[in-house]
Structure 1
Amino acid sequence: MEKAEPAFRDPATEAAFADFDEDARTALLRVRAMIFDVARSTQGVGRLEETLKWGQPSYLTPETKSGSTIRLGAPNPGSIAIFAHCQTSIISDFAAHFSGAFSVEGNRAVHVKVTDLEAAEGPIRHLIASALTYHKR
């Protein structure tokens, strides 16, 4: 498996990444690195907890409770998904801000083609920051 930054603390979460096909795993590990980077560089987020929720890698802000859970998945071949709690406005706010630029699944997820990930990094970082600071708004 590709090197992951930071190192995995939970073998079950590491195994979940290993279960994705190679293209999805590479893309999701890149998003994972973005999540940790955005958390480090965003004031008030604090330590992240990486765990599994519904069998998917998930990221929470347990100390500050600043954010809403982010989950990662690959529900369709050739694409990945970034999930947020469906009772928040995280996805709808993102969809409004980046109107028509991404495939959005209601208030639940943003889907990104693996081949589009590099070009989508800025908006994805925006989505991550919005989720990690959702309760600070």
Structure 2
Amino acid sequence: MPDTSPPFPNTAVADVFASFPEDAHSGLLTFRNLIFATANETSGVGRIEETLKWGQPAYLTPDSKSGTTIRLGVPKSGGFAVYVHCQTTLISEFRSLFPDDFAYDGNRAILFEEGQALPVDPLRLFIKNALTYHLK
């Protein structure tokens, strides 16, 4: 996937990415690129704000308020993860579409193993659904 992500907005976010374990770093950067690329292709989303929430890179739709926050991080079990608010239906809906394709942490995260190739098309759907969650 080509690098379509913008530069880091501030040193705090860049520092967090730099602190991620080397094996998780590549997957997290790929997921970051996928968030920005999907946002650019999705009507109604608008500008993506990249900030830190709970010490993790977080992606918000502050102007359109169309979506729920997406966060990226490293779980205690290793690998890397994408998190959404646990009171949304995003994970349960995604799990119903892809029950055996991903590892899940309850209703809050999709987990990835270090070095795991990211299946782009299903993850674009997940990101699109998160970025447009409040438009339903």
Q: TM-score band, normalised by the shorter chain?
A: over 0.9
1:70 match: 70
Specify the alignment match of 1:10 in structure 2: 10
In the aligned structure 1, how far is the partner of 2:53 from the partner of 2:4? 19
**C-alpha deviations, 1:5-39, integer Å up to 9, x for none?**
31011110010100101121111000000000000
Cα deviation for residue 41 of structure 1 reads: 0.3
Q: Distance in 1 between matches of 2:120 and 2:4?
A: 17
Equivalenced residue count is: 133
What residue in structure 2 maps to residue 35 of structure 1?
35
- Bigger shift: 120-129 or 36-45? 120-129
Distance apart, 1:54 and its partner CA? 0.3
Q: What is the aligned-residue RMSD (CA, Å)?
A: 1.4
Q: Tell whether the 8 Å contact from 1:82 to 1:109 is kept in structure 2 after alignment.
A: yes
Partner of 1:104: 104
> Unpaired segments of 5 or more residues in structure 2?
none
For 1:4 and 1:22, how far apart are their aligned partners in 2?
Answer: 21
1:132 is matched with: 131
Structure 1 gaps, min length 5? none
Q: Could you report, residue by residue, the CA deviation over 1:95-136 in whole angstroms, capped at 9, with x for unpaired residues?
A: 111112111111100002233333x22211111111000001
Q: 1:4 offset after TM fit, Å?
A: 8.2
Q: Partners in 1 of 2:43 and 2:4 — Cα distance?
A: 23
Query: Partner of 1:83 in structure 2?
Result: 83
Runs in 1 of length 4+ with deviation above 6 angstroms? none
Rounded Cα–Cα distance in structure 2 between residues aligned with 1:114 and 1:37 = 22
Counterparts of 1:68 and 1:100, CA distance in 2 = 24
The AA in structure 2 aligned to 1:85 is: H
User: Aligned partners of 2:21 and 2:4: how far apart in 1?
Assistant: 16
Q: How does 1:18-29 map to 2 (within 5 A)?
A: 18-29=18-29
Distance 1:58 1:44 in 2: 19
Taking structure 1 as the reference length, what is the TM-score of the superposition? 0.92
Task: Decide whether the 8 Å contact of 1:4 with 1:29 is kept in 2.
Answer: no
Partner of 1:50 in structure 2? 50
* Distance in 2, Cα, partners of 1:56 & 1:67: 18
